[in-house]
Chain A
Amino acid sequence: GAGVSQSPSNKVTEKGKDVELRCDPISGHTALYWYRQSLGQGLEFLIYFQGNSAPDKSGLPSDRFSAERTGGSVSTLTIQRTQQEDSAVYLCASSLAGTRIANEQFFGPGTRLTVL
């Protein structure tokens, strides 16, 4: 079946502009995660959605970052008033929710964001 998809694959924007990044998880996966990967760095957790529960926003670096997940499927990560330090690859992942068991996260191809 189809894997996790993300759009756009690349986004170049000017400092101060807002951007929206989209993630389509694997059908049936109720858990969805956003990560940020700066050049040559690891994966930095941003936000996590699980079913109808309130999202875990503990990784969002500032109030310029927000995310929503509509209908328990597609998610949008919004960055307002972008700064150059926001330049990175933004990865989305989804997984099956389990009871007291963490499951494999399947990653999308990422969106490479460049803020000029």
Chain B
Amino acid sequence: GENVEQHPSTLSVQEGDSAVIKCTYSDSASNYFPWYKQELGKRPQLIIDIRSNVGEKKDQRIAVTLNKTAKHFSLHITETQPEDSAVYFCAASIGSGNTGKLIFGQGTTLQVKP
């Protein structure tokens, strides 16, 4: 079946450093790639998303890049802060058209040390 692989599973950085999380997907029809942040005990919340018609999107300290040929996309967080510590999930839409169905990666636990 379709799947999304996410790496690394854990990531520890010093405050102010950059963090990069990478995902690969298998469905060539995927056209929507959101990233969710989940703080401990809380619900996942969308932080940024990208559609297949663009290669990069940036929102302040967060950016996402997409390589459709290689079927991978990455999350970049610059100038990390302790409040960035959380679990981050990537996801990819499944199938062409608007099924809305997402397949999620296994998550990356990011720890930002002050």
Assembled-state Cα–Cα distance A100/B53 (Å): 13
Contact, CB under 8 Å: A48 / B43: no
User: Does residue A18 face the partner (Cβ distance < 8 Å to B)?
Assistant: no
User: Does residue B46 face the partner (Cβ distance < 8 Å to A)?
Assistant: yes
Report the minimum CB–CB distance from B49 to chain A (whole Å). Answer: 7
User: Does residue A95 face the partner (Cβ distance < 8 Å to B)?
Assistant: yes
The interface residues of chain B lying within 8 Å CB-to-CB of A97 are 98, 100
Contact, CB under 8 Å: A42 / B105: yes
Contact, CB under 8 Å: B103 / A45: yes
How large, as a class, is the contact surface on chain A?
20 to 34
The interface residues of chain B lying within 8 Å CB-to-CB of A42 are 6, 89, 104-107
Contact, CB under 8 Å: A48 / B44: no
CB under 8 Å from chain B, chain A span 59-102? 91, 95, 97-102
Contact, CB under 8 Å: B100 / A31: yes
User: Does residue B93 face the partner (Cβ distance < 8 Å to A)?
Assistant: yes
Contacts A41-B106, A102-B32, A102-B93: A50 and B100 contacting too (C-beta < 8 A)? yes
User: Does residue A43 face the partner (Cβ distance < 8 Å to B)?
Assistant: yes
Contact, CB under 8 Å: A104 / B101: no
Report the minimum CB–CB distance from A42 to chain B (whole Å). Answer: 4
Contact, CB under 8 Å: A56 / B99: yes
Q: Mark A29-44, 1 if CB is under 8 A from B, else 0.
A: 0010101000001111
**A residues bordering B, Cβ < 8 Å?**
31, 33, 35, 41-45, 48, 50, 56, 91, 95, 97-110
